[in-house]
Structure formats: C-alpha cells, structure tokens
Amino acid sequence: MSNEARREDGSTPNPAPYSFGGEWSPSAVEIERRIARKKQVRRKALIAAISSILVLGTLATIVITSPGWKVLSATFFHWSYGFQVLPKILLGFFESNLILTLIASVSVAFFGLVIALIRTSRSAALTPFRILATIYVDLFRGIPMLLVIFLVGFGIPALQLKGVTNNVFILGIIAVIITYSAYVAEVIRSGILTVHPSQRAAARSLGLSNFQTLRHVVLPQAIRRVTPPLLNDLVALIKDTGLVSILGVTDAIRAAQIEASRTFNYTPYVMAAIIFLCVTIPLTRFTDRTLRKSIERQNAQGQA
Amino acid sequence: MRIPVLEISEVRKAFGSEVVLEDISITVPEHTATVLIGASGSGKSTLLRCINLLELVDDGTIKLDGQEITSVAANPDEIRRKLGMVFQSFNLFPHMKVLDNIILAPMRVHGISRDEASEKAIELLKRFGLSEKADQYPDRLSGGQQQRVAIIRSLAVQPRLLLLDEVTSALDPVLVNEVLSTVRDLKDHGMTMVLATHEMGFAKQVADEVCFLEKGRILEWGSPEQMLENPTNPRTKDFLQRVHEAGRL
Ligand SMILES: Nc1ncnc2c1ncn2[C@@H]1O[C@H](COP(=O)(O)OP(=O)(O)O)[C@@H](O)[C@H]1O
Ligand SMILES: [Mg+2]
C-alpha cells in the first residue's frame, strides 16, 4: 500500500539502480485493478459500519429500555457524585495501588529472575536451593492470592515476633511479591529453556564461562521472548494490588467502598474501575504491540 | 621434533550403551589441516565436540600443545580460549549485531577493550569482504555471509586450533564456495585445523591428512591423494563412490 502511494505521487525516494526503458507508469490493467480494489475496500467498510450499528445499537436499546435502567443508572452512574468522590479514590490509587505496583514489580522482577536462574542451573552446590525453589513455585502458584494475603497479613502479626512489622501496607506488598515471584519465575524459566542449546555451545566454545554465557547470550534472548507475557503479568499485578484492601489498606477500591457504604450509591466503584482502566488499557495495547513485533521478529528469523 | 598442536590417543566415547567413538588416534602438527570424512552419524561432530570439551571422553587422552586437556585438573574455560569452533548451523547470536558477535569473546574472555577489539574485528571483516555488514543483525545476512561471520568470530580470539564442523552443509550450493575459499585462505595463512566435511574436492585442496570414520572408528587414513584417489579399504571406496554419486566431487 505505502509503495503504491509513493509511486502515485511520483516521488520515489530511492530510484531503481537500473532501468528497463524510461519512467514506469501503471498499465491499463493495473489502473483497472486499483479502481476495483478501492471499490472493494469501500464496500467492506460499509458492511462493517452497518453491522456495528445494528449489533451495538440493539444492545444499547435493550439495556436502556429495560425496566430497571433508571434505578441502575442512578445508583451506578451518578456522575456529579462520582466526580465529587474522585479525589479520594485517586488519592487511594496513587498512594496505595501505584506505589504497591512500583515496589512489587521491581522486587518481583528481581526475585523471579533469581528463582528462574536457580531452577535452570545445573550446579551441584545449588541442589538444595533448586529443591526449595521448586517447592516454593509449586506452592505459591497453587494457592489463591487472596489466601496468601490473609496468611501473611493476619498470620505474621499473630506470631507477635519482635521487630516484625504490623504495617498492613508492607504485609500486603510482601504477599503480592511472594505470589507474583512464583509466576514470573516460571515465565522467565520457560524463556531460558527455549533458547537453543547450540547458542550455549557456541558461547562456551568461544571461551565464555557459564555465567558469562548466561549473562550475554542466554538471558538477553530469553527476556526478549517473554516480554509480552511479562507485560501481561504486570497488568494483572496492577489489578491485583486492589486485593490488599481486605487488610484495611486504603487503596482506590477501599476508598470507593467507604464512600459507597456511606451513601448506598455505587458510583464510586465505577469511578475506581475507570481509574484502573486508564492505566491498564494503554498497557494492554502496548503489550499487544510488543507481542506482534516479537512474533514478526521470530518469523523473520525463521526465514533467514 | 616439535610438539604437535593436537594429539588424540585412543579416545573412546559412548552415549549410554551406544559407542560413538572407539580407539581414535590422530596427530595434528602445526599449520596442517586434518579432514574427517565419513557418513552421517559416524562420529565426526562428537570427535570435534570432545576436542572442544563440549563432551567428555570416556577413555584415552587429548593433548593440546602437549598439555593434557582431558585431565580432570584441566580448566575447560581456559582450554576453550585456545580453540575456535565453527558449527554447521552458524550459531551466531541473533540479538547482537555482527560486530558485537565478533568482539564478545575478545572483550569478555580476553579482557581487550571495546575499541581495540572493534578495530581488530573490522580489520577481519574487511579482509573477508564483509566490512559493510558490521552493523547488521545476523538475520539480515545470507547463509554464506553468516557462516563467514561465524568463522571470523572464532578467529577473533586468535585460536591455536580451529575446529570446523561441516561448515557448508547448511548452505545453498551457490553459497558454498565463498565459505570454502575463506577456509582455504586461513589454511594458506598457516592456521592449524581439524574439519569435518562432505566436500571432497575441497578436502583434497586443504587437507594434509584425511581420516575416514565409520561407526566411530578410523578405518583408513593418509594423504588426500591416496585417500581420495586410491583408497585401499573397500569401505572407503564404497563411501567415496556414494558421495560421488550424490554429485559433490
Ligand atoms: N548428545 C548425544 N546423545 C546421544 N547420542 C548422541 C549424542 N550426540 C550424538 N549422538 C550419536 O552419536 C552418533 C554420532 O553422531 P555425530 O557425531 O553427530 O556424527 P556425524 O557428525 O558424523 O554425523 C550418532 O549415532 C548420534 O545419534
Ligand atoms: Mg555432524
């Protein structure tokens, strides 16, 4: 498409190094083909528009004309009330969810990588750590995160150990880190395992040590391959930070809950949802694009 | 007499119960090329991988410049610094540009500065007509160019011995020659090498000695003229006949 467009306005940036007799201009066949193609494109756009209007319009009509719509919209979409409580919810989001996401994602990246490296290493000295890491991953991938939050958030303070924090915010972060490190470790490990052994052999035969091979050859390729699933996990992490509200952390969800239970109007929840969407939708789009690019890159490599 | 660069004596290697190499003895003096020929599965790659310590031998010894590298006390990382290896499938690092592929080992293993390593790498690329590819990623290069970069990468650490494992087998026929002439050039400059190949015409040009492997044993060895034109062992004859029929001589 872009090539055609360039040719049509007659300003090819790279003129062909050789020529077979003068300036090229589209033949009658080609011109006809282009007109036909344009017609096709127009028709497809029309069909897409009509079907969208029909389907979405019908759905909207069903919802809006339903008997309970008036009541529902008053309790969930009371916008003026929503904007009135927005600052409180935003404060909760920035003070808790966002900070929690930042601290947790950095820690999870670190611990996930360390666990993945331990699990993929073959060194004899690391055997006990390998066993522990495997147990850890199996355990925390198998327990619902809500339970981990309960266990850490209520269990640790109950032990009444000296010098151990009772701060629910910190305990919440720890619970999130524990759970997500197990997931991320597995994603990174799968990336490491997909790097072909011949890459290792090539690096070792150049004299690189085991660690250097990992650092310069295996990990860069592994991380590149698992970037899309890791970004997916980041989106999930952002949403799951809301779960720590059950410990009493005043995050966006908890702030909304406090408001909603005061007025019996649920618009604060909708506001909280919108705030989460403002962060997660761009990130999801970005993830999609990264995934598409990484697939394109792998296809290109397959062809070479 | 000078100590040979490589001295393999009575090497044996088995994978489980499958014996892949048996009673292999080869001596490679400095500035000579030893060519391994033999059918697929005869053990050529395994032998090269044993020399490079990518596999451990089950018996026998391998000496590099008189030092036994199969000894338990030997440090594999140190020994591999003196060896270069080129693989059938190139094995360039796809996430690094051509230049970075080449300077990785000089920088990380030999502690040469980036500038100095780059300068030497560009010199090598120029010598083999690849200087304009320095800033490209390997997947933008043709197979022949990739393999030549792989050869340059193994040369950049100035190895005592170069191991080449069927370096043209994965290439289109039209690309084979540029790689072979690169190897020939190295031989002419005095590089000591051991190579496995199915290109008999090429073997005749570069080999000082040819060894015929079958089922992990050296059945016959000798000068390229004798081995490729007047082999005495009927199995060697048979093998050459089959290669000839496949149209590679
Ligand atoms: N890592 C391995 N594990 C088990 N068997 C192997 C391994 N590597 C090679 N072999 C076997 O060793 C034999 C020789 O293989 P190879 O050295 O690759 O032969 P060539 O390079 O001459 O084709 C083959 O039968 C092959 O199946
Ligand atoms: Mg082989």
Q: What is the CA radius of gyration of chain B?
A: 18
Residue A156's pLDDT is 86
Tell me what ipTM this predicted complex has: 0.91
Residue A6's pLDDT is 44
Q: Which of residues 119-138 of A touch B (CB under 8 A)?
A: none
| Cα B81 to Cα B106: distance, rounded to the nearest angstrom | 10
What are A251's two structure tokens? 């995050």
Residue A10's pLDDT is 47
**A184 touching chain B per CB within 8 A:** no
What global pTM score does this model have?
Answer: 0.83
Query: Average pLDDT, whole number, for chain B?
Result: 93
Integer CA distances (angstroms), A212 to A223, B8, B73, B78, B165, in order: 16, 29, 22, 14, 24
Residue A18's pLDDT is 59
pLDDT tens readout for residues A42-81: 999 999 999 999 999 999 999 889 888 888 888 899 999 9
Listed in sequence order, the residues at least 6 apart from B89 whose beta carbon sits closer than 8 Å to its beta carbon are: A198, B170
Task: For ligand 1, atom 12, name the residue with the nearest CA.
Answer: B20
Ligand nearest to the CA of B213: 1
Domain A98-249 has CATH 1.10.3720.10: yes
Residue pairs between chains A and B whose CB atoms are closer than 8 Å: 67
Residue to substitute from B80, B88, B133, B152, interface A, most A β-carbons within 10 A: B80
Listed in sequence order, the residues at least 6 apart from B185 whose beta carbon sits closer than 8 Å to its beta carbon are: B128
Listed in sequence order, the residues at least 6 apart from A140 whose beta carbon sits closer than 8 Å to its beta carbon are: A148, A178, A179, A181, A182
Contact yes or no for B94/B139 (Cβ under 8 A): yes
Residue to substitute from A194, A205, A226, interface B, most B β-carbons within 10 A: A205
Sign of the C-alpha dihedral computed for residues A98, A111, A204 and B76 taken in this order: positive
| Cα A256 to Cα A277: distance, rounded to the nearest angstrom | 15
Closest CA to A226 of A294, A137, A292: A294
Q: Which residues pair with B214 in a beta bridge?
A: B217
Residue-wise burial string across B86-108, b where 16 or more C-beta atoms lie within 10 A, e elsewhere: bbbbbbbbbbbbbbbbbbbbbbb
Residue A1's pLDDT is 41
Domains in chain B (CATH in brackets) are 1-82+161-249 (3.40.50.300), 92-158 (no CATH)
pLDDT tens readout for residues B180-203: 999 999 999 999 999 999 999 899
Contact yes or no for A228/A284 (Cβ under 8 A): no
**A198 touching chain B per CB within 8 A:** yes
Q: Is the pLDDT of residue A2 over 50?
A: no
Residue A3's pLDDT is 45
Q: Which of residues 52-91 of B touch A (CB under 8 A)?
A: 52, 54, 76-78, 80-81, 83-85, 87, 89, 91
Residue A20's pLDDT is 62
Point out the ligand 1 atom lying closest to the alpha carbon of residue B216.
14
